Amino acid sequence: MDQLLRFQDVKLYYDHVYALKGVSLEVKEGETVALIGANGAGKSSILRAITGLQKIREGQVHFRGQRIDGTAPDEIVRMGISMVPEGRRVFPYMTVRDNLMMGAFTRGDRNEIRDSIDMVLTRFPRLKERYSQQAGTMSGGEQQMLVIGRALMSRPRLLLLDEPSLGIAPKLVQDIARSIVAINRDEGVSVLLVEQNSRMALRVSQRAYALSTGSVALSGNSAEMLTDERVRKLYLGGEL
Amino acid sequence: MEQVIANGLYLGAQYALIALGLTLIFALMNVLNFAHGQLYVLGGFVTYTIYGQLGLPFPVALVCSGLTLAVVGAAIEKYLFRTVIRRSVREESTMLLAAAIAFFLDSVILLLFGEKQRGVPKIIDGVFISDAVILPYDRILVGVLAVLMIAAFVLFMQYSKPGRAMRALAQDRIAAQLMGVNVNRYSMIGFALGAMLAGVVGGLLVTITGVNSGIGGPISIKAFLMVMIGGAGVVGGAIAGGFILGMMESVGLTVLREFGDVTYLVIFALLMVFLSIRPNGLMGKPWG
């Protein structure tokens, strides 16, 4: 499989506190990769570094063979990386339709945008029922579907998901896990998934990196990590 | 009574346009543009120069007012606000900058155009007279133009791609960036648009009330009144605030005439009471 994203020896800090102390990882074409780890381990910092929202201190980020660290966030979107931010961040006073249209902001082809909207509405039928409703008035689960759909509207090659299960009803977490698998399979989008719900993350992904205080502690095949004693102890403890 | 309402509507439409520009800039950049009234005055003087002095047609002058102010607004955003916002995290910095721009523009306007009250020839003669109202045709025209521009602005914000991008930016800056919106470019477009609206109203009203270099400050204060009444950063609130202030002014000037020049005293007192009950205005949302 071809390499899509390469994150190489990246160091990053906020206010003199290191968030990433030299992290290397990669995402291959067509893969779903999970990043697991406790709060503050640096998972979200990796996504923020990829999207250009946070400048890195040292190291390099490559996407499709091109170096992208230092590139502005809006340019990164145009290159084919789309992010679903933590806490969903719908545009609360816009309708579902306008939120999806914003997702297609970098595109100009009206007819194809309409096709993409149809694709999103087929995938998430709940959004069809709420099409003209203000996004801020929807439930957390519906908003999560909306922001995933919105991120797909730019037709990304790589989809970054930051804590999609956070604050979502348990039944809907299953739905969202299933749609992540389906999107990866049907749309040809590679996925980099950040999750505190490690069990869910390991089930939907093929490979995973476990982070601990700003560096990669473990990595490998997700199915094997699910049964790994160390992973069980450190990341899956308690939740069954 | 009908006369008072007609005057209120005419005035309210102008005010709403001014408030829309101010609220747009606030919503996009979290900047309180204290120089908004000066932008209005500048627009008035551009129309005064082109229509009143050079004798070119009024529509040409009005377009020039809008374009000049769009350029001025874009430059103010790009070279002043952007620089300050990049280097300072404190909100007071942009407020001080806005106040400084207001003083600077006041002086520039005074140097360029002098201190005299300036007027221009009527754009159309004649007066509409019915049993209920007496309205000069030029006021009707200026009122209708303002309403059309409010409608155009609302449609632009609601249905065009740049309009949608600006709404997105106002609602969630980070999410808008993640959609591919270039924050710098759209902040500049927004500031230019806001300044353009102020300039156009200046160009419209110079034909009725004239313009002088000292009214920038008072106009800014009125603009802030409207935005506070309606709720900061909300398009509907700015329009409502504009019409409410226009109506109050019109009613006040009639009803309170015998008490002297107290209309704005009463309006300010009412506003204090109103804001203590609804600190976010009619449609405002709590910020932060």
Write a three-state SS string for chain A: CCEEEEEEEEEEEECCEEEEEEEEEEEECCCEEEEEECCCCCHHHHHHHHHCCCCCCEEEEEECCEECCCCCHHHHHHHCEEEECCCCCCCCCCEHHHHHHHHCCCCCCHHHHHHHHHHHHHHCHHHHHCCCCEHHHCCHHHHHHHHHHHHHCCCCCEEEEECCCCCCCHHHHHHHHHHHHHHHHHCCCEEEEEECCHHHHHHHCCEEEEEECCEEEEEEEHHHHHHCHHHHHHHCCCCC
Listed residue (A155, A238, A176, A214) closest to A35, CA to CA: A214
Place of tokens 């020049």: B261
Q: Please report, as a single letter, which amino acid is at residue B192.
A: A
What is the pLDDT averaged over residues A58-84? Answer: 96
Q: Is residue B2 part of a domain?
A: no
Q: Is residue B148 part of a domain?
A: yes
pLDDT value of residue A237 = 64
Q: Tens digits of per-residue pLDDT, B103-127?
A: 999 999 999 999 999 999 999 889 9
What is the pLDDT averaged over residues A208-235? Answer: 90
Beta carbons within 10 angstroms of residue A107's beta carbon: 16
Using the Cβ of B286 and the Cβ atoms of chain A, whether some distance falls under 8 Å is answered with no
Q: How confident is the model at residue B133 (pLDDT cuts 50, 70, 90)?
A: confident
Range of the domain at B157: 9-213
% pLDDT > 70, chain A: 98
Q: How confident is the model at residue B260 (pLDDT cuts 50, 70, 90)?
A: confident
Q: Is residue B181 part of a domain?
A: yes
Q: Is residue B157 part of a domain?
A: yes
What is the pLDDT averaged over residues B13-31? Answer: 94
Q: How confident is the model at residue B90 (pLDDT cuts 50, 70, 90)?
A: confident
What is the pLDDT averaged over residues B267-288? Answer: 83
pLDDT higher than threshold 90 for residue A1: no
Question: How many domains is chain B partitioned into structurally?
Answer: 1
Domains for chain A: give ranges and CATH numbers: 3-235 (3.40.50.300)
Q: Is residue B274 part of a domain?
A: no
pTM for this entry: 0.91
Query: Which residues in B lie closer than 8 A to residue A94 (C-beta atoms)?
Result: 164, 167-168, 171
Using the Cβ of B178 and the Cβ atoms of chain A, whether some distance falls under 8 Å is answered with yes
Distance CA B40, CA B61 (A): 14
First to last CA, chain B: 43
Question: Per the CB < 8 Å rule, is B168 touching A83?
Answer: no
Cβ atoms of B181 and A105 within 8 Å: the answer is: yes
Q: Is residue B282 part of a domain?
A: no
Q: Is residue B130 part of a domain?
A: yes
Nearest-by-CA chain A residue for B176: A102
Kindly report the nearest CA distance between residue A98 and chain B, in angstroms: 8
Strands A81-84 and A32-37: unpaired
Listed residue (A84, A76, A86) closest to A167, CA to CA: A86
